[in-house]
Structure 1
Amino acid sequence: MAATSLEVWGDPIAHSLSPALHTAAYRHLGWDWTYGRRRVDEERFTAELAGLDDRFRGLSLTMPLKSAAYRAAARRDARAELTCAVNTLRLTPDGPIGFNTDVGGVVAALREEGMDAVAEARIVGAGATATSALVALAELGAQRVEVAARRPLAVAGLEALGERIGIAVTPVSLAASTFADVPLTIATLPGDARVATHTADGLAGSGGRLLDVVYGHWPTSLSEAWEAAGNRAVSGATMLLHQAVLQIRVFATGDVTEPLPDEQSVVAVMRRALVGG
């Protein structure tokens, strides 16, 4: 029996738009695949994964499961190895293969904004998503990245990664009110995170264009500051769309670089599903 079942796992998970995106794509492609959601925390992840039968083709993983999925993968793609994070598992008889499609999602979202090359940028936050953002910036040619974090010591891991991929990472305090001028800011904070007004205004006034990876809690305190400053702020919905396209490539062939049949029309259908059209 061909494996046709897929799911997105995380905790919380009810807010996820992935089922709508994937279902629209599968229907358009004429694939008899189903894509559901399951609330799974890190403690239950290993048991839930072991309990899947051969109907399951793959999984999408969101917080807090990206590290657990990384550890579970028998093999991983280069982006997953760099970030130590897996958000996609292709299930095979030889064990799960792990991918990080968040990196490609950031790259594609920025390219939609006309940012095909970025020399310097700022990342707000120092968690797992910041790691994917840093690798994405490296792929776009960045050489210098400032990371604004509540605890600058938390940036140490990003500094070490920056050394490996050729980016000079500079930590700064998120409590500051003035920042260096950059053409691009990528915010990786949770959607409900509040940023002090003086900090948000300082970031917005010096931060160029904003890509905020949040899509479920919009607007955010940062996007509101950006709009007040007259600067463009983009939600993470476009990133979500493009990383989902890469996931579907993985689920289809196991090759994240192999385009889907008539991929432009698939993306258009998914984009309409994203806004409920």
Structure 2
Amino acid sequence: MTLRAAVLGHPISHSKSPALHRAAYAYLGVDYAYSATDVTEAALPEFMRRVRDEARADGSWRGLSVTMPLKTAMVAEVDEVRGVARALGVVNTVAFESDAGAPRLVAYNTDVAGIVNALRHAGAAPAPTAAVLGGGGTAAAAIAALKELGSVSAAVFVRDVGRAAEARAASAAVGLPIQVLPLAGAAAAVAAADVVISTLPPRAADTLAGELADLPAGDHYPGRLPGTGGPGVLLDVAYDPWPSRIAAAWQDAGGTVVPGLEMLIYQAVEQVRLFTGLGQAMPAGVIDVMCDAVGAPRRVF
């Protein structure tokens, strides 16, 4: 029997998740069909009802990758939320388990691990001073990731300071104090951070990119940070188009840039572990074929 998994979101045609997952399953020699399915938030309950019916009928479903705008709405559609996802109220992964022969849907958040591993691989400083751009579901994962990396606080820059509920909830849940500030005029503060995580949609940080490019070389400048002994790291979770304007401005100034594709790869590795049930027994070579599938450099450890 061919087993099934899919990535859900709206829009979804740009997603690289199918390439990543299909490469992994081919390498592992397991018969999985992985598709991209466009689902709006309004359509999610009916879609999940159909998925449950199909899982009950033939047991073929193994997992769902969940992207925007469904990361919060999916919480109401599963039977259990585990790990950091329970604290955040934001999920990006649903694994199918069997409970007395019936499907049991269990949700996780692998975005946190994706961010942590992408930043560590890029050489981010331990216990970094930190800034997050955006205040939604991915920003919540970023706040949890910064807590794991040892940050003691974070500045969260948003377009509307009245619309950062998910970031504030994540702060309370993981115990990382945040200050929510307007994105406008944030360039100097952003440039001074050891780690910056942009969770904004493509092009939403273009104005900030221009402000960064206009900063004078000196006390607050990416790659020339006083007292750090090295460049700051920018992770931009948007990966299409690439490079984004903010990534280009950061790199031009000497900073280290981590494309969102890196986060996507690392979170997908965790999803494959959950969907296949291999856990830590998954062969190390899987990540290399996943990198090959999306044109990313292979890992060097």
Q: TM-score, normalised by structure 2?
A: 0.83
Is 1:215–1:236's contact at 8 Å kept on the other side of the alignment?
yes
How many residue pairs get aligned? The number is 272
Q: 1:64-75 counterparts in 2 under 5 A?
A: 64-75=69-80
Identify the range of structure 1 (12-21 vs 176-185) with the bigger mean alpha-carbon deviation: 176-185
Structure 1 distance, partners of 2:252, 2:296, is 28
Structure 2: runs of 5+ lacking an equivalent: 226-230
CA contact (8 A) 1:191 1:218 kept: no
Instruction: Identify the range of structure 1 (115-124 vs 244-253) with the bigger mean alpha-carbon deviation.
Output: 115-124
Residue in 1 aligned with 2:26? Answer: 27
Question: d(CA) in 2 for partners of 1:129 and 1:164?
Answer: 15
Code of the aligned partner of 1:227 = Q
The one-letter code matched in structure 1 to 2:274 is V
- Give the letter for the 1:69 counterpart: M
Amino acid at match of 2:115: V
**Match in the other structure for 1:199:** 211
Q: Is residue 121 from structure 1 mapped to residue 130 from structure 2 by the alignment?
A: yes
Q: Secondary structure at the match of 2:254?
A: coil
Distance 1:204 1:249, change over 3 A: farther
Distance 1:248 1:35 in 2: 11
Which of 251, 254, 259 is equivalent to 2:280?
259
CA positional deviation for 1:192? 3.0
Matches within 5 A, 1:32-43: 32-43=31-42
The yes-or-no answer on 1:224 pairing with 2:224 is no
TM-score between the two structures when normalised by the length of structure 1? 0.90
Superposition pairs for residues 50-199 of structure 1, below 5 Å? 50-52=49-51, 53-54=54-55, 55-92=60-97, 93-115=102-124, 117-155=126-164, 157-176=166-185, 177-179=187-189, 181-196=192-207, 197-199=209-211
Give yes or no for contact 1:187–1:211 (8 Å, CA) kept in 2: yes
Query: Per-residue deviation at 1:116?
Result: 6.5
Q: Residue type matched to 2:271 in 1?
A: Q
**C-alpha displacement at 1:85, in angstroms?**
1.1
Task: Specify whether residues 58 and 161 from structure 1 end up closer, same or farther in structure 2 by C-alpha distance, changes over 3 A only.
Answer: closer
| Larger displacement relative to structure 2 (70-79 or 242-251) | 70-79
Q: Would the aligned equivalents of 2:124 and 2:233 in 1 still touch at CA under 8 Å?
A: no
Between 118-127 and 173-182, the greater mean CA deviation after superposition: 173-182
Cα shift readout 1:205-247 (whole Å, capped 9, x = no counterpart): 4792101011122111211211221212111111100100100
2:136–2:167 contact (8 Å) kept in structure 1: no
Residues 139-196 of structure 1 show CA distances to partners (whole Å, capped at 9, x for unaligned) of 1111010111112233455345324423221122211143262111000100132432
Structure 1 unpaired stretches of 5+: none
Distance 2:48 2:165 in 1: 32
RMSD between superposed Cα atoms in Å: 2.2
Judged with a 3 Å threshold, the aligned counterparts in structure 2 of structure 1 residues 252 and 229 are, in CA distance, closer, same or farther, namely same
Instruction: Report the CA distance between 1:58 and its aligned residue.
Output: 1.4
Bigger-Rg structure (1/2): 2
CA distance in 2, matches of 1:32, 1:3: 5
Q: Deviations over 1:53-109 (max 9, x none)?
A: 132221111111111211112111121112211111112325311011111100110
Percent of aligned pairs with the same residue? 34
Alpha-carbon distance in structure 1 between the residues aligned to 2:140 and 2:286: 28
